[in-house]
Amino acid sequence: MTPAERISELRMELDRHNRLYYVENTPEIDDRQYDMLMKELEKLEHEHPELDDPLSPSHRVGSDLSKGFVQVTHARPMLSLGNTYSLEEVNEWVDRCNDSLGNQGGMLSVPIVGEMKFDGTSISLTYENGRLVRAVTRGDGVKGDDVTENVKTIRSIPLVLPAGDWPESFEIRGEIVLPWKAFDRLNEERAFNEEPLFANPRNAAAGTLKMLNSAEVARRGLDAYFYYLLSDELPADNHYENMLKAREWGFKVSDVMTLLHSADEVDDFIKRWDVERRNLPVATDGLVFKVNNLRQQLNLGYTAKSPRWAIAYKFAAERALTRLIRVSFEVGRMGVVTPVANLEPVLLSGTIVKRASLHNADIVKSLDIHEHDMLYVEKGGEIIPKITGVELSEREEGSEPVKFVDECPSCGKPLVREPGEAAWMCPNKYGCRPQIIGRLEHYVGRHMMDIDGVGEENCSLLYDAGLVSDISDFYTLTTPPLENLERIGPRTAQRIVEGVEASKNVPFDRVLYALSIPFVGETVSRKIARAVRSMDTLMAMTREELVAIDDVGPRIADSIIEYLSYQPNVELIERLRSHGVQMSLPEEDLSDHTDLLKGKSIVISGVFSRHSREEYKAMIEKNGGKNSGSISKKTDFVLAGENMGPAKLEKAQKLGVAIINEDEFLKMIEAE
């Protein structure tokens, strides 16, 4: 291959990985592999300047710009950091800084600050007169997306600073992260709903920050750490003290930040945190070293892409090599077929790994896995082990590439793939065992019908015994045949029968969720149930009417229509209804509902005396209005109590949004 060919191949490959990483949030390779490709490209371009192209991926810092947000130009560009995976290169960087600033010897005349490199998504916050005015993503480094509304939902970010010596105007940069706990919870939920999982907290944080629904953002539990203060009037002449000030003003600045005075201290810092980072509540992918003194920073200056006064040391992902026993194909409740690598057990970051998801056919193909290959398994902080490559030198002669099945491994039906989707699906929704059992398990689950006594295992038992073949059969169960089943004694049988009976009181919104209609999750079910009130209304609705419901998009609407136009589903619903399952929300709930606030977006602020905040929220919803968390041009009015937040007051006044008190509000919803 000529250098020109390789350069063009690398550019295309890097462009593709940029898109997967920044736009689709589904990277196929890790940072290290990406960096290797980039370094190879940079080297070739350096050797062949005649082949340069201003649009080469080496000329940009990457972009997370996305549609739907207003773009803002950064007052000062957001650069990236030069990085290395080796301790030696960190030492060389320290020496270089010392040399160019005219110092020599073992002691660092150039004090360095060591910090954690948080693995999230970078953010720039601007404060004026102690108030947060704007939060912008890095974007392409020059322009970013204005995500202020979403950032405001992050509890650890101060919106208004308490009195202090902060400059009138400053910018603070940091990293938005999704802590491990919140990440695990989110992925558990997604696994349950058969939605694609986030590969790591970084993608989850970036994806969440770009959501258009800030209520959902608030629910996910983002957090933020800050590491860079910029202003014309900084409090100190060095980075460390500036960050201590920021901490004083209420920003989360990590305790890991340490002032280092010698090359040995730098080494010790690396050795210590390479291990101890595992105990931190958030994901980290390395350490950052910065020259502390701002004058020295200025002297060292910048390259086109990054400051010379800082360097990132990246941790190597923990990796193991093990043999592939076989790839199995598993069918989920919605029919998605997932390839799973079954591995010879191997120890990785303290746990034994035997299985790793290969996600979908495209990933199996791009890794080019052959039968019995030796595979690299990584756990780069992520909880779910990942196959990152094949050790070709260990490949058995004549071994065949792993073939993705074209028939359902369970029922044998030919698989189908929707255009533009990565997943192959078994179309045999109503005749394929794992799909049927998956729906039974879903139906009895805690968030759905919560049927006591029937766990996951019992569902397959009941199905195989011929007692339950669809969810309506639960209502025909009686103790005698049940208690004769292996593993189910008289007591469990009794519990099941009682649990099934109790499920007849489960409200309609959860029944709707329990039906396993694709894309109709817990929140959407609740929204739909409140909007339509009954199954009969839902069944009569058109696509347009469905899309008009809050949070229902075309994909969900189509899925509901498809589900309800299949006669066996309608019959199933009728059977459930005849057994006494709730197919509408109770009447009494309806009586105090009005349209008085229909289409109104209302913000609640302050402390109230006549009702609680929660009660006001319920009143808004019952009267057809929408309670929203922050004031915007779309806000119709603010329901204000005592001590309304000064930021909200100012914003409402600026946008000319009406402010009304409790009495006025109560009058408003008084029905004639």
CB nearer to ligand IVH: give 228 or 443: 228
CB nearer to ligand IVH: give 20 or 485: 20
Cβ at position 27, least distance to ligand IVH in Å: 15
CB nearer to ligand IVH: give 34 or 127: 34
CB nearer to ligand IVH: give 79 or 320: 79
Q: Which two tokens stand for residue 418?
A: 């929707």
Rounded CA-CA distance 123/117 in Å is 14
The window from 32-40, 78-86, 341-349, 621-629 that contacts ligand IVH (CB under 6 A) reads 78-86
Rounded CA-CA distance 495/454 in Å is 9
Please check whether residue 655 is in contact with residue 633, taking contact to mean a CB–CB distance below 8 angstroms: yes
Cβ at position 86, least distance to ligand IVH in Å: 16
Q: Does 81 bind ligand IVH (CB under 6 A)?
A: yes
Cβ at position 83, least distance to ligand IVH in Å: 6
CB nearer to ligand IVH: give 206 or 471: 206
Please select the residue that binds ligand IVH; options are 312, 358, 471, 482, rule is CB under 6 A.
Answer: 312
Please select the residue that binds ligand IVH; options are 227, 249, 474, 608, rule is CB under 6 A.
Answer: 227
Please select the residue that binds ligand IVH; options are 118, 313, 315, 424, rule is CB under 6 A.
Answer: 118
Please select the residue that binds ligand IVH; options are 18, 71, 80, 523, rule is CB under 6 A.
Answer: 80
Which neighbouring-strand residues pair with 286?
Answer: 117, 314
68 Ramachandran zone, left/alpha/beta (phi>0; psi -120 to 50) = left
446 Ramachandran zone, left/alpha/beta (phi>0; psi -120 to 50) = alpha
Phi and psi of 44, rounded to 5°? -65, -40
Give helix 567-578 / helix 554-564 axis angle, nearest 10°: 80
Please check whether residue 88 is in contact with residue 135, taking contact to mean a CB–CB distance below 8 angstroms: no
Q: Which two tokens stand for residue 337?
A: 């077929």
Cβ at position 141, least distance to ligand IVH in Å: 9
Q: For 255, how many CA atoms within 13 A lie in the half-sphere containing its CB?
A: 4
Q: What is the DSSP code (8-state) at residue 445?
A: S
H-helix or E-strand containing 340?
A: strand 336-348
The window from 28-36, 111-119, 354-362, 564-572 that contacts ligand IVH (CB under 6 A) reads 111-119
CB nearer to ligand IVH: give 312 or 423: 312
Cβ at position 23, least distance to ligand IVH in Å: 17
Cβ at position 17, least distance to ligand IVH in Å: 16
CB nearer to ligand IVH: give 253 or 461: 253
Please check whether residue 88 is in contact with residue 232, taking contact to mean a CB–CB distance below 8 angstroms: no
Number of residues that bind ligand IVH (CB under 6 A): 15
Cβ at position 664, least distance to ligand IVH in Å: 46
Q: Does 470 bind ligand IVH (CB under 6 A)?
A: no
Q: What is the DSSP code (8-state) at residue 405?
A: P
Q: Work out the burial of residue 250: count CB atoms within 10 Å of its CB; fewer than 13 is exposed, 13-18 middle, 19 or more buried.
A: middle
Please select the residue that binds ligand IVH; options are 72, 270, 300, 310, rule is CB under 6 A.
Answer: 310
Please check whether residue 371 is in contact with residue 402, taking contact to mean a CB–CB distance below 8 angstroms: yes
Q: Residue 305 catalytic?
A: no
Q: What number of H helices and E strands is found in the chain?
A: 25, 21
Q: For 465, how many CA atoms within 13 A lie in the half-sphere containing its CB?
A: 19
CB nearer to ligand IVH: give 79 or 411: 79
Please select the residue that binds ligand IVH; options are 79, 161, 230, 531, rule is CB under 6 A.
Answer: 79
The window from 29-37, 79-87, 178-186, 572-580 that contacts ligand IVH (CB under 6 A) reads 79-87
The residue assigned the tokens 């030069």 is 82
Cβ at position 115, least distance to ligand IVH in Å: 4
Please select the residue that binds ligand IVH; options are 166, 170, 228, 329, rule is CB under 6 A.
Answer: 228
The window from 269-277, 306-314, 616-624, 657-665 that contacts ligand IVH (CB under 6 A) reads 306-314
Nearest to 258 by CA among 250, 248, 270: 270
Number of other CB atoms surrounding residue 531 within 10 Å: 17
Cβ at position 173, least distance to ligand IVH in Å: 6
Give me the catalytic one of 43, 67, 117, 626: 117
Q: Does 117 bind ligand IVH (CB under 6 A)?
A: yes
Question: Which residues ranging from 336 to 395 are in contact with ligand IVH (CB under 6 A)?
Answer: none
Q: Which two tokens stand for residue 359?
A: 């996600």
CB nearer to ligand IVH: give 33 or 193: 33
Rounded CA-CA distance 226/257 in Å is 11
Question: Which residues ranging from 133 to 152 are in contact with ligand IVH (CB under 6 A)?
Answer: 138
Q: Does 122 bind ligand IVH (CB under 6 A)?
A: yes
Question: Which residues ranging from 168 to 197 are in contact with ligand IVH (CB under 6 A)?
Answer: 175
Rounded CA-CA distance 331/517 in Å is 16
Rounded CA-CA distance 75/96 in Å is 29
Q: What is the DSSP code (8-state) at residue 409?
A: T
The window from 307-315, 343-351, 353-361, 439-447 that contacts ligand IVH (CB under 6 A) reads 307-315
Rounded CA-CA distance 361/373 in Å is 17
The window from 30-38, 73-81, 567-575, 577-585 that contacts ligand IVH (CB under 6 A) reads 73-81
Cβ at position 242, least distance to ligand IVH in Å: 13
Give how far Cα 565 sits from Cα of 87, 540, 558, 559, Å.
Answer: 63, 10, 10, 10
Task: State whether the Cα torsion 273-276-280-285 is positive or negative.
Answer: positive
Please select the residue that binds ligand IVH; options are 30, 31, 45, 115, rule is CB under 6 A.
Answer: 115
Cβ at position 38, least distance to ligand IVH in Å: 12
Rounded CA-CA distance 535/582 in Å is 9
User: What residue is closest to ligand IVH based on CB?
Assistant: 122
CB nearer to ligand IVH: give 141 or 332: 141
626: Cβ contacts below 8 Å, ≥ 6 apart: 550, 600, 601, 602, 620
The DSSP secondary structure of 467-480, one letter per residue, reads: S-SSGGGGGG--HH
CB nearer to ligand IVH: give 22 or 665: 22
Please check whether residue 388 is in contact with residue 333, taking contact to mean a CB–CB distance below 8 angstroms: no
Residues 278-297: x where in contact with ligand IVH by CB under 6 A, - otherwise, as a string: ----------x---------
Active site amino acids: 117
Q: Site residues (CB under 6 A) for ligand IVH?
A: 79-81, 115, 117-118, 122, 138, 175, 227-228, 288, 307, 310, 312
